[in-house]
Structure 1
């Protein structure tokens, strides 16, 4: 009898999951921000990679955009690529129109996210231009190598940009956003990485700071429950951005344990589109790939799935994935030890 009940329960879950996957429109999520048209989106690290792709996507949706980055020349080049419609991430706009944007919809602010005073000024000036509806903390960097080969200055740089850069940005913007968010739904978007849910071999401080961003996002999510400000933690996988160019032999060889192949890296424009769709829905944990789905299931912690269909899918996959980790772990150890014996972990 017990076996029959268990079989019936599994069958019911599978049928419900099949129904939800086949008829998703019956369960449309409530949109925290129904449209980005006319909204002001501020993006740090906006001169290249995911940040620039996010700017492009938001402008296509009719947003106003502030781009913040350290290098004024690169910011100017990024703006020109948007204004003249020659951005490599897209060749056409909405309804067949050219993807060109007037300069009055783009504000550029050259500032170092690791400088609290500079970020405070940049945020205040951006807010005075237009109130910020979506704050995207995207700036990040990595210095690769084994931990005991790293310079103290490199450890500090990665920590200041990846972690404190996000902290300073949110700290400066939050009082301004809270002052109007009760009537204007707003969002804070923290761009982390799948390495914030597992790890990237050879990029120790990058992984550590991305893990820290998950903790920051979880705390802020609850602190802002009464302020109509949603927090989204975005965790893309390997993405085709300039950051991948920083990958050294440790990252390239070591992450073969995750079947890393740059040819299959995600496109920045795909990450940007999935990110903003999740932000509009008010999702907390946003992944952008099949690998992200698996990692998300294993690393959720106390964060529940945000829809019934997601919950059922994750419940269905959790046990097989946990079993798979026991197969993967010995494989990963053998591969890393083999590489270490070959001298890949020693200075040239």
Structure 2
């Protein structure tokens, strides 16, 4: 697909922080922002992957990029990493809360520690990064982008902790948006559908161990590059909500307004797909 890479200068020389940026949507968005001239800071846990991505961004996009090993669930580590990037780049214009993990287990079979770990990364990780970056974002009238999920509208069985973490993100960031009215800081919540990422390769199960899971084959699976492009375009327009759905708008309306009908019509299809190939 042809993209007018340099049609907009909105992000030229802007400082963009992406958490969980070494794979999937995070990596694709890092490349898209680099194409637009942004200076990148990537948080991830894999130092080798960080080094490789920074080199790739420099070699292929002539991007000024910094990779920092940071566990977003560790508030002290986040504060230190944000302070380091502000020292190097002078501030933050865009924060992308992308880091996340998932699980595959029924609520009744899921240890409390799995719930705590999912919330620590998916919810508290976004909170830690946002609170650390907010003074700079306010000074620069910047933007916060939060990766949520289609599960906000159509919850998937065996993802109780994951679904809960995404609902919590909406509660937090919709509240923050209202508190930031007239500050010039935009908050955009993004709800992708099924996307071909590496998230399923290290899925937590009920006892807290990890196991790779096959991808769910319900509907079209989006490419990370297409999701990143949609996020980029949404950020240009400073949108508040971006829903990128493999499940069409009618299914989302049924899920919201007629939940029992949704369960009757759609969830058996999910269960059938899950039993034959697993979920993504």
**Paired residue for 1:55?**
30
**Paired residue for 1:233?**
189
Aligned partners of 1:336 and 1:53: how far apart in 2?
28
Q: Contact 2:219 / 2:247 at 8 angstroms: preserved in 1?
A: no
User: For the structure 1 residues 296 and 273, does the alpha-carbon distance in structure 2 shift closer, same or farther, using more than 3 Å as the test?
Assistant: farther
Largest Rg, 1 or 2: 1
User: For the structure 1 residues 299 and 221, does the alpha-carbon distance in structure 2 shift closer, same or farther, using more than 3 Å as the test?
Assistant: farther
User: For the structure 1 residues 198 and 66, does the alpha-carbon distance in structure 2 shift closer, same or farther, using more than 3 Å as the test?
Assistant: same
Aligned partners of 2:18 and 2:273: how far apart in 1?
39
**Deviation per CA, 1:285-311, whole angstroms, max 9, x where unpaired?**
1022453645665689xxxxxxxxxxx
Report the structure, 1 or 2, having the larger helix content: 1
- SS, match of residue 247 in structure 2: helix
Stretches of structure 2 lacking an aligned partner (at least 5 in a row): 1-7, 207-214, 276-280
Deviation at 1:180, TM superposition (A): 3.3
**Paired residue for 2:211?**
none
**Paired residue for 1:193?**
149
**Paired residue for 1:220?**
176
**Deviation per CA, 1:37-92, whole angstroms, max 9, x where unpaired?**
121110000111111000000001111110001221221122233334xxxxxxxx
* TM-score under structure 1 length normalisation: 0.67
Q: Contact 1:196 / 1:207 at 8 angstroms: preserved in 2?
A: yes
**Paired residue for 2:162?**
206
**Paired residue for 1:331?**
265
User: For the structure 1 residues 153 and 129, does the alpha-carbon distance in structure 2 shift closer, same or farther, using more than 3 Å as the test?
Assistant: same
Aligned partners of 1:176 and 1:51: how far apart in 2?
21
User: For the structure 1 residues 193 and 337, does the alpha-carbon distance in structure 2 shift closer, same or farther, using more than 3 Å as the test?
Assistant: closer
Aligned partners of 1:265 and 1:335: how far apart in 2?
16
Aligned partners of 1:35 and 1:213: how far apart in 2?
27
Alpha-carbon RMSD: 3.1
**Deviation per CA, 1:12-48, whole angstroms, max 9, x where unpaired?**
xxxxxxxxxxxxxxxxxxxxx9611121110000111
Deviation at 1:336, TM superposition (A): 7.8
* TM-score under structure 2 length normalisation: 0.82
**Paired residue for 2:88?**
129
- SS, match of residue 225 in structure 1: coil
Stretches of structure 1 lacking an aligned partner (at least 5 in a row): 1-32, 85-99, 251-255, 301-321, 343-348
User: For the structure 1 residues 61 and 333, does the alpha-carbon distance in structure 2 shift closer, same or farther, using more than 3 Å as the test?
Assistant: closer
**Paired residue for 2:74?**
115
User: For the structure 1 residues 293 and 272, does the alpha-carbon distance in structure 2 shift closer, same or farther, using more than 3 Å as the test?
Assistant: farther
Deviation at 1:273, TM superposition (A): 0.6
User: Alignment partner for residue 220 of structure 2, among 258, 264, 269?
Assistant: 264
Aligned partners of 2:160 and 2:72: how far apart in 1?
21
User: Alignment partner for residue 129 of structure 2, among 165, 169, 173?
Assistant: 169
**Deviation per CA, 1:256-308, whole angstroms, max 9, x where unpaired?**
9xxx51683110000001011111111111022453645665689xxxxxxxx
1:139 aligned to 2:95? no
Aligned partners of 2:272 and 2:87: how far apart in 1?
57
Deviation at 1:330, TM superposition (A): 2.1
**Paired residue for 2:278?**
none
Q: Contact 2:41 / 2:85 at 8 angstroms: preserved in 1?
A: yes
When structure 1 is superposed on structure 2, of 66-75 and 160-169 the one drifting more is 66-75
User: Alignment partner for residue 158 of structure 1, among 97, 118, 133?
Assistant: 118
User: For the structure 1 residues 56 and 147, does the alpha-carbon distance in structure 2 shift closer, same or farther, using more than 3 Å as the test?
Assistant: same
Aligned partners of 2:255 and 2:158: how far apart in 1?
21
**Paired residue for 1:77?**
52
User: For the structure 1 residues 170 and 248, does the alpha-carbon distance in structure 2 shift closer, same or farther, using more than 3 Å as the test?
Assistant: closer
Number of aligned pairs? 260
